Every structure is written in C-alpha cells, then in structure tokens.
Structure 1
Amino acid sequence: MVLIFLHLAILGLPLVLTLFFHRRKLSGFRLPPGNKGWPIIGETLEFAMNHRRGFPEKFVMDRMCKYSSDVFKTSLFGEKIAVFCGAPGNKFLFTRHNKYVTSWWPPSMAKVWYFPDNQENTVEVTNKMRSVLPEFLKPDALRDYIPVMDSMAKEQLETDWSPHKQVRVFSLSKKYTFDSACKVFMNLVDPEQLRRLSNPLTQVVAGLISIPIKIPGTAFSRAVEGGKIVREELLAIIRQRKRELSENKEAISIDLLTRLLLASYENGETTDDEKQIANKIIGLLVASHDTVSTALTCILNYLAEYPQVYEDVLQEQMEIAKSNGPGELLKWDDVEKMKYSWCVVCEAMRLSPPVPGTFREAITDFTYAGFTIPKGCKTFWTAYSTNRNPSYFPDPEKFDPSRFDGRGPAPYSFVPFGGGPRMCPGKEYARLAMLVFMHNVVTKFRWSKVNPDEKIIYNPTPAPANGLLIHLLLNEH
C-alpha cells in the first residue's frame, strides 16, 4: 500500500509543480485595477443603463478616473475584459495585432451572426473572407457605384420623403443604406427579397449586443432566430448566383457576391465556402443597416440643431450640383470636393460614435502601462475614452467641424473605423454612402425637429428615442 501511494505521489509531482509555479506566476501579475461586478452579469446592467440614459461615455470615464486612465478591468456580457483607454491604448491594440492580440467575438455575437459550425473558428472565417474584400472596397472599385448610390438616394427622397410634410429620419435612412448595400454588394433590387432580408436583420441588430440569455421574448433570442432566417435567405441567393455563373458568366454583374464566388472557385471551392460568404455578407449588411444609417441620422440631427453648419454644407453641395448638367449623376470628382461636408460627418461621429469600440483577445502574456494582461484575457478599445475627452478635443461638447480641418485631431484619438490591419474594410464605402445621401437631402430639403428636446439613446449605437421626426420644406434654388 505504501508503494502504491509512493508511485502516485511520484506520478502526480509534475502536475503539482506545474500548478504551483502557475499560481506563483499569476500572483506576481499586476493586473489592471477595476471591478468585475456581480457574478455572471458583471457590470452589464450599469453599462446598459448608462447607454439607455444617453450617457454611454460615463461608464468609461468614471472608471478611468477611479482606477486608471490607461487600462481598467470590468466584466460585460459574461466576459472579463481589460478596457484600453486613450490614444495610446488605441495605438497599442491596433499596432500589436497578431503579436499580442488577435480578433475576438463574444460568443453571444457569434451565435447570432455565424452558422453553428463556424462559431468555434470565427477568427479563421473572418480572416479568410477579409482577404477578398479589400480589392472590391477600394476607391477604384467603388467609384463606379457612386452614380448608383446617387440614383437610389434621389429615388427614395422622391418616393418616401417629398410627398410628406413630416418624416421619421431613422427608419428612412435605414431603408436607403440597406437597399444601397444590397444593390452594391449583391445586385439585389427585388422588393420581396429585400423585405425577407430586412425584417429579420432588424432583429439581429437589436440583439447583437445583449445579455446572452436564450429565453423566448428576449432580444438575444429574437436575434438568434433572425440570424437563422437571414443566413438561410442568403444561402438561397448565393446558390442562385452560382447557377447563373455556371450558365453564363459574362452576363453577371461583377458585384461583391460574384467576386467572392469567383475567388472561391480559384482557391478550390469547399462545402464551407457558401456559409463563409454568407457570414461576410451578413457583416456588411449589419454595418450598412445599423452603423451607416445611425451616422446619417445623427448628421441630420446636428444639421437641424446648427443652422449655420447646414448653410455651409448647403453652399458646398450646391456648388457641386451646379457644376453638373441637368440629370447628371454624381461622380468620384464630385465626392472628392465635399471637404467641409466630410468634416461635419466626422464631428457627428465624434459626438455620437456609430461604433463604440471592438474586442480583441490576448494571445500571450504582455505588459501595458505597468499592468500585466494575461494570455486569454479579452480586451476592448473604446471611442468613449477619447471622443469627448478634453485632453484631445478642447470644449468637447461643442459641435465644431473645424476640428477636422487641416491636420485634424491627434493620431489615434479619433478612430471611427478602427485602425491597423483590422481597420474596417468598408470605410470607403461608408464615406461614399454618407456623402452621397447628404448631397441629395441637403440640396432638396430644409428641415426642423418636431421635438427639439428628443433624447438620444444608445443600444449600443446612438439613435433618437422617437426616430427623429422632422418637418420638411423643399429647398428653393
């Protein structure tokens, strides 16, 4: 019996030593300060309440003051997270990608977004499809779509805006951005197909960032169901396009969907390619349905609040309109002239960020600002640590587009599209979509808010509480 215990002790010694030294190593870490909050839910409720009250930056700024202006720890949506703050924090995460950190999606988002068999390798799926996107989303490739966006904006304003004295901006801007994205990315214009995609996608967006409790009636449960419907609809569209390509490749428009399919043929098509393409299209549709439409709504909100800014935008856009012949659609050179309008867009995104930040995961132990970030720890960069921070933007509550004249803000202090190798590939598409719509709405209408005191709420992106109902007047020129 003694020999048996002796053998067990010898066999177990390596495990004991491993656990001892691992615990000793962890005890030597100087982890970021902060509060993990309640069991399971962490600080999610306080985070959500600040958003609903219209002060999302309060959650971040309070903890920067209390714990550290460099990095603090918290727990959100069931995950322990190190929040990196300020321009140095942004720079560190953006420039250390694949050295210290890699992309990461919360499991709740993966369950909503991806096919079940792709949920465990979301980074691999994303990286594979990102390699195809940049070429299509570069300015040279997108410039041919500017007249398409312009034509669609004109048509929607004539159909959905002009007949009415009052309109709700948020819902109509979503319609424009979603319809434009479907046209540009998939050459999809059939109203019934658009409806079958749009309705469940609304459920996806509403529950994408939510407490991952799958109980009927919760935002997360509805988002999971909506994601399933969207994926099935996209698979049907993808398979139809594949049939069309096999019958007559020359007759097919070279949109993003076609390029993704042709790339999969060249690389040796696999059974997973259809699902991976659908996953990537979902990501682009979510961005167009939510972030671009959110930004447009906030832009129109600020133009209503600041008449002189509106007049300056109108002057710039009218000069562009008058330089074109009757019925001539916008082109690349026209968009390049919209310098002041782009400053207005940037200032709107500074005060009302359409993307609050993104996640990463530590792939090794590393030190930042004197604190150790252990391997496996989730990290988050946040726009709220810089955008209203007086250290970067004096008088931060003032709407002042001139901040973006010339050299603009300090590097890494304003990053609405992220940065580094993981910068949003749709940045240029979003810029064109916003400026083209601004051109059309400003040159056609003047407007005022029905409720001047309408509250902005965040879930997590900003939106007027009642959709920004406005009075419309036709511009006379």
Structure 2
Amino acid sequence: MDYFFCFLPLLFVVLFSCHAFLTPIIRKHIPKATRNGENGRGISLPLGRTGWTVIGETLHYLSEIQSGTLENFVTDRMNKYSSKVFKTSLIGQPMAILCGPEGNKFLFSNEKKLVQVWFPGWSNKIFPKSHNISNNEDFINIRRMLPLFLKADSLQKYVGIMDLVMKQHLQKNWDGDHVQVCPVVRKYTLALACRLFISIDDPREVEKLAKPIEDIVAGIFSGFPINLPGTALNRAIKASKEIRVSIESIVRQRKVDLMEKIVSPVQDILSHMLLTVDGSGQHLKTVDISSHLLGLIFGGYGTLNGTLTFVIKYLAELPHVYDEVLKEQMAVTSSNKRPDNLLGWEDLRKMKYSWNVASEVLRLTPPGVGAFREALTDFTYAGYKVPKGWKLHWTAHVSHMNPDYFPNPDKFDPSRFQGNQLAPYTYVPFGGGPRMCPGNEDALLAILVFIHNGVTTFRWAKVIPNEGVFNDPLPRPAHGLPIRLHRHDFAVSESIF
C-alpha cells in the first residue's frame, strides 16, 4: 500500500495553513504594481490567476490531466484571458503558458536564447545527472552525439535487429488466445531499449530492470511528489540508484571490451558515450554515463508504451483501418527479398498508410503532457512581460485538439497526414527545435516494426468493448486492454528462430 495516503489529510492541513498564513506575508512583500499585474514599467504581466499560495492551480491542472481533458485547462483560460498567453501557478512556480502553434514556435525557436529546459526539483532526485545538468556542457555534448545514433540514416542498420526483437517478443509473450496489451507492450519496449542502447539481449537481465523502471515511472508521474518512506517518489529514487549501479557494472565491462577490441565502438549508444569527450577533452565518467543511459532507457521505454497500446486499441475498434494496414503490410512482406525474412530500411519506407495511422494515434494520445522551460531573461511575448526566472509550459494537446487545425478533432482519421497539409507547429508529439525528443526517429521505426509484425500475425478483438481510459498522467486503458487473438493462416514463418 502506498503510505502517501496516510499523510494525505496532513498534507492538506499543511497546504491550507500555508495558504492562510503565508498569503498576507507574501502580499506584503510583493510590490503593488506586480500584484496588479504590472512590471513597474507599464508592461503588464500575462493575465490569469495563480490560485492558492504554494499549490496554485496544480490540483485543477492535475484533475484535468486525469480526466483526459488537459486541453480544457488551457482553452478555458485562453477564452477568458488571452488566446496567446496566460499566467498561472503550477507545482509551486509562477508560470506562463504559451498557447497554440505560435507559442510552440516561440519556445522551440528560442532555446538557449530566451528560455532553457526546466525540470521540477524532485525529478533531479531520480535522474541526478542526466536531468540536473541538462543545460550544462556535458549534457549538451551528449545531445550532439545522439543524432549520430538516433537519426533515421544511422538507425537503418538496426531495423533488422528491431524486427528480430519484435518477432522474439511475439513468440514468447503473444503465445495464446488472449493477451493483456499494456504489460506485454511494456516488456517489448524495455527489451528494445536495452538491446539498442546497451546491447542487453538476455531476457533475464532485462527482467531485472522491469520493476525498478516501473517504480521510476510511478514516481515521475506522482501527483504529489513527496520523498517520504513508502511514497512513489521515494521508491523511484531507490529504483534509480539500483538501476544506475547495474548500468555502471555494464559500463565498466564495456570499457574493458572496447580496449580489447571485443566489441564494436559503434554498436550502441553506450559505446558512443564511452568515446565522447567533454569540453575539456576528458571522457565522461562512469557514474555520469550511467545516469544518462538511465534517462535514455526511461525515455525510450515511456514514449513508446502508450503509443503502441493505443495502436492496438484503435485497430481493434476500426476494422476498416486495420484492413488497410494489413493490405499494406502484406505487400511489404511479399516484396521482401531478404534471405533472413527480416525487415530492412527499404521495407519501412513503403509503410506510408501505417505511419499515417501511427501519426493519428500520436495526435490523439501524445506521449507526454508537454514540457517546461525557464525564462533566461525578461522578455515580451504577445504584448506581455515574462520575467526572468518564470517557468513556461507548452502542451501538444491544445493544438492537436483544435478544430481549426484538425477538423472533427475527436475523430480518428489517418488521411489528415497525407501529403504536406499540416500547418507548422500544430502537430508536435515530440516537441520541436533543439530540444525535440532525440528518440523520435527511433520511435518511428519501432512503431512501424511493431505494426508490421502485429497485423501480419494476428487479427484481434477487445475483450471489454467499452473499456474506459484513465490518465495518470498519460492515458492508458483502465483494465490493461485485454484482447482475443486470431492468428492468420498466412502468418510469417518462425523458421528464423
């Protein structure tokens, strides 16, 4: 049982007390002009409300996330205050939320100029290096290195490996008439991340990381991140230490293997990191590499889980879409001339409709609620002053669900992505600019490989036709999406195993 619930009544007493007793003190020391929304020089702060002292509007924000209506939190305030920007207070921080494609473009285009990435302080306890120094030199060097491995042209040689991992996963975890999608998808994404990033392919070694990774997920997305024994955050911190110790052992062994030329210097991200040097020409420390790798494994694991689950969900609910995907994937299978029957880069390039389906899934269920930035200096946006040190927030949900950009936004319609008809910065499931998710190309390939193997092996149906979806904060089916499997007579041969 999560001991956090034992402290919940006390937490609300403390928060209410903070609100009651700190508000007069804080107001006494805030200049009147600032309290009234002025910066003292005639330019107003963004309009909006900041809610209670300390907690601000965090509870309302979290409730909208849990309801799957985050866009309502933003659009309601856009209608009331400004369609461009409004102020609020979230997780104890004064915050400006920039709205729509214009806001996305501004934040993506001004990274390290007017804004920089920001994470809540408690996340640094889980990722003490990879996130805490995300604006410092060695992390920047890591981000410069990642495209060498994670861009499409670099990933081409890994398509066959990804396909083999998926085929092995299907054989081991989809062997039967029924499957619960959420847990088996988590096994696949973790196995894939471990294989591509640190070359772990032993299922027993991957399984050792599964529980700690789940504890980290729960801690990162905890509504009340309090580090007390028994809380989600406390378990996540312990899990992070456990995984980093395991990865450090792998790093030390890899150093020996590289020196003895047992492994390739370009076989995975770990080898790339060991060859990366910082601004002073020094190689990264083992402890730092382990933290960076934990962040990457977590990112690769978390980004894919929801997307693959909802691919299965929508294909079960929309037979006509499934049929089109199957038709395309069978054509890919028929044209595959590789002796090992594994997918190649040229096969993935033929999956245009399947990628449109995946894109529509990403539009309706983005892999994150958005991201935060911090103002590096005072600046003016849409006629309002944003002070230095304020936090900024953007979320894909607002533009993804805007009928001006996506007519009938609740409808699943892959044709939206045919051609080049999307307005810039309206479709941003992976962010944009220098801080775009570095694994977006990796995710694209993994999704297509997953779709290909799934539909060419099975047709499926939901066990619970009206299964609900809840958000914590990412959306997931309430009962893990149990499905009935019907294996095709023409399923791909398993001779490669």
TM-score by length of 2: 0.87
Instruction: Tell me whether 1:145 sits opposite 2:164 in the alignment.
Output: no
Match of 2:328 in 1: 316
Aligned-residue offset at 1:192: 3.2
SS at match of 1:83: strand
Instruction: Give the Å deviation of 1:365.
Output: 0.8
- Find the counterpart in structure 2 of residue 381 from structure 1: 394
Give runs of aligned pairs for residues 74-473 of structure 1, distance below 5 A: 74-115=88-129, 121-124=133-136, 125-161=138-174, 163-210=175-222, 211-248=224-261, 254-264=267-277, 268-269=281-282, 273-325=285-337, 327-473=340-486
Cα pair 2:265 2:272 within 8 Å, conserved: no
Kindly state the Cα deviation for residue 119 of structure 1 after the two structures are TM-superposed.
Answer: 6.7
Report Cα offsets for 1:175-214 as digits up to 9, x if no partner. 1111011111111112332123221111111121332311
Amino acid at match of 2:358: V
Q: How far did residue 158 of structure 1 move?
A: 1.3
CA contact (8 A) 1:383 1:416 kept: yes
User: TM-score scaled to structure 1, two decimals?
Assistant: 0.90
1:57 maps to 71
* Counterpart residue type for residue 114 of structure 1: P
Q: State the Cα distance separating 1:250 from its structure 2 match.
A: 5.4
Question: How many Å separate the matches in 2 of 1:119 and 1:474?
Answer: 44
> What is the CA-CA distance between 1:265 and the residue it aligns to?
9.0
Work out the CA distance in 2 between the residues paired with 1:27 and 1:207.
Answer: 42
What SS does the aligned partner of 1:380 have?
Answer: strand
Identity of paired residues, percent?
Answer: 45
CA offset at residue 364 of structure 1?
0.9
Q: Report the count of equivalent residues.
A: 455
In structure 2, what is the Cα distance between the partners aligned to 1:446 and 1:207? 35
Q: Is the 8 A contact 2:101 2:425 kept in 1?
A: yes
In the alignment, residue 118 of structure 2 is paired with which amino acid? Answer: W
- The answer to whether the 8 A contact 2:257-2:263 is kept is no
The CA distance in 1 between the partners of 2:442 and 2:232, in whole Å, is: 29
Rounded Cα–Cα distance in structure 1 between residues aligned with 2:323 and 2:131: 49
Please tell me the residue identity of whatever aligns with 1:59: F
Residues 317-339 of structure 1, C-alpha deviations (whole Å, 9 max, x = no match): 01001112474110000001110
Of residues 333-342 and 65-74 in structure 1, the stretch that sits farther from structure 2 once superposed is: 65-74
1:32–1:168: structure 2 CA closer, same or farther, 3 Å change rule? same
Question: Equivalent residue for 1:4?
Answer: none
Alignment-mate amino acid for residue 205 of structure 2: Q
Aligned-residue Cα RMSD (Å) equals: 2.2
Aligned residue identity for 1:295: T
Question: CA contact under 8 A between 1:291 and 1:461: conserved in structure 2?
Answer: no
Amino acid at match of 1:303: L
Structure 1 letter corresponding to 2:122 = S
- Give CA deviations for 1:100-129 in whole Å, capped at 9, x if unaligned: 1112111121221124xx775332143231
Code of the aligned partner of 2:166 = A
- Residue 36, structure 1, aligned to residue 50, structure 2: yes
Question: Runs (4+) of structure 1 moved beyond 3 Å?
Answer: 19-29, 118-122, 249-253, 264-270
Partner Cα separation in structure 1 for residue 448 and residue 246 of structure 2: 30
* Cα deviation, residue 264, structure 1: 3.4
Counterpart AA for 1:156: H
Deviation for aligned residue 1:266? 11
Between the aligned partners of 1:209 and 1:83, the Cα distance in structure 2 is 20
- Alpha-carbon distance between aligned partners in 2 of 1:222 and 1:351, rounded to the nearest angstrom: 31
Displacement of 1:391 in angstroms is 1.4
| Alpha carbons 2:141, 2:278 under 8 Å: kept | no
Structure 1 match to 2:27: none
User: How far is 1:22 from its partner?
Assistant: 11
Q: 1:261 is aligned with what amino acid? A: L
Name structure 2 gaps, 5 residues minimum. Answer: 1-29, 491-497
Q: Give distance in 1, aligned partners of 2:263 and 2:398.
A: 50
Structure 1 unaligned residues grouped into runs of 5+:
1-18
> Helix, strand or coil: the match of 2:377?
coil
Aligned to 2:17: none
Partner Cα distance (2:214, 2:441) in 1? 24
Question: Could you tell me whether the CA contact under 8 Å between 1:353 and 1:416 is conserved in 2?
Answer: yes
**More displaced, 246-255 or 285-294?**
246-255
| Offset at residue 456 of structure 1 (A) | 1.5
CA contact (8 A) 2:119 2:131 kept: no
